[in-house]
Amino acid sequence: MHALLTMSNNHSRGDGYQPARAARKDQKLATRLKRPSTPAIILTMSSQTSTPLRIVLLPNPEMPKALQLAGLIGDRLSDAGAAVSTFISQTSPLAPSPDLSGVDLVIVLGGDGTLLRAGHLCAPLGIPLLGVQAGRLGFLSELTESSWEAALPRLLAGDFHLEQRMMLLAQLIQDERVRGEWDVINEIVIARGRIVRPIEVRVDLNEGYLTSYIADGLIVATATGSTAYALAVGGPILPPELRNMLLLPIAPHLSLDRAVVLAEGASVVLRAQCDHEAVISVDGTDPIRLNENDAVRVTANQHSLKMVRFGERNYFYRRLATVLHDNPALKQNHHD
Distance CA 40, CA 331 (A): 42
Q: Is residue 107 part of a domain?
A: yes
Q: Indicate if 99 belongs to the active site.
A: no
330 within domain boundaries = no
The answer to whether the beta carbons of residues 214 and 200 sit under 8 Å apart is yes
Is residue 307 within 8 Å of residue 117, measured between CB atoms? no
Strand, coil or helix: 323: helix
- Taking the mean position of all CA atoms in its chain, how far away is CA 221? 13
Q: Mark whether 198 and 144 lie in a shared domain.
A: no
Residue 329 is predicted with a pLDDT of 65
- Rounded alpha-carbon distances, angstroms, from residue 96 to 2, 21, 62, 300: 12, 27, 17, 28
Domain count, the chain: 2
Query: Residue 93: what pLDDT?
Result: 64
Is residue 118, in this structure, part of any structural domain at all?
yes
Same domain, 15 and 142: yes
Residue 336 in any domain: the answer is: no
CATH number of the domain encompassing residue 203:
2.60.200.30
Looking at residue 43, its pLDDT comes to 32
Non-local (6+) Cβ contacts of 332 within 8 A are none
Whether 335 maps to a domain, the answer reads no
pLDDT of residue 53: 87
Q: Is the pTM of this model over 0.75?
A: yes
Residue 115 falls within a domain, yes or no? yes
Q: Which of 15, 75, 112, 275 is catalytic?
A: 112
Residues 143 and 241 reside in one and the same domain:
no
Residues 50, 113 within the same domain: yes
Q: State whether 241 and 275 are in the same domain.
A: yes
CATH label of the domain that carries residue 124: 3.40.50.10330
> pLDDT (tens digit, 9 = 90+) per residue, 116-126?
999 999 999 99
Please tell me whether residues 146 and 24 are part of one structural domain. yes
- pLDDT tens digits along 255-297: 999 999 999 999 999 999 999 999 999 999 999 999 999 999 9
Are 94 and 213 found together in one domain?
no
Q: Are residues 188 and 297 in the same domain?
A: yes
Q: Are strands 54-59 and 105-110 parallel, antiparallel or unpaired?
A: parallel
**Each residue's pLDDT tens digit in the chain (336 positions)?**
322 344 333 443 333 333 333 333 333 333 334 333 333 333 333 334 678 889 999 999 999 999 999 999 999 999 999 999 999 987 666 678 899 999 999 999 999 999 999 999 999 999 999 999 997 777 899 999 999 999 999 999 999 999 999 999 999 999 999 999 999 999 999 999 999 999 999 999 997 999 999 999 999 999 999 999 999 999 999 999 999 999 999 999 999 999 999 999 999 999 999 999 999 999 999 999 999 999 999 999 999 999 999 987 777 777 777 777 776 666 655 444
* 156 plus 182 within the same structural domain: no
- 175 and 39 in one domain? no
**Long-range pairs for 129-134 at CB < 8 Å and ≥24 separation?**
129/105, 129/305, 129/306, 129/307, 129/308, 130/105, 130/106, 130/155, 130/307, 130/308, 131/107, 131/307, 132/69, 132/73, 132/107, 132/108, 134/59, 134/60, 134/63, 134/65, 134/66, 134/69, 134/109, 134/110
- Judgement on whether residues 145 and 74 belong to the same structural domain of the protein: yes
Question: Is residue 333 included in any domain, yes or no?
Answer: no
> Strands (DSSP E) along 142-221, which ranges?
161-174, 177-184, 187-192, 199-205, 208-215, 217-221
The reply to whether 334 falls in a domain is no
Q: Is the separation of the CB atoms in 108 and 114 below 8 Å? A: yes
Please tell me whether residues 9 and 156 are part of one structural domain: yes
Which residue type is seen at 286? D
**Domain range holding 122?**
5-160+310-325
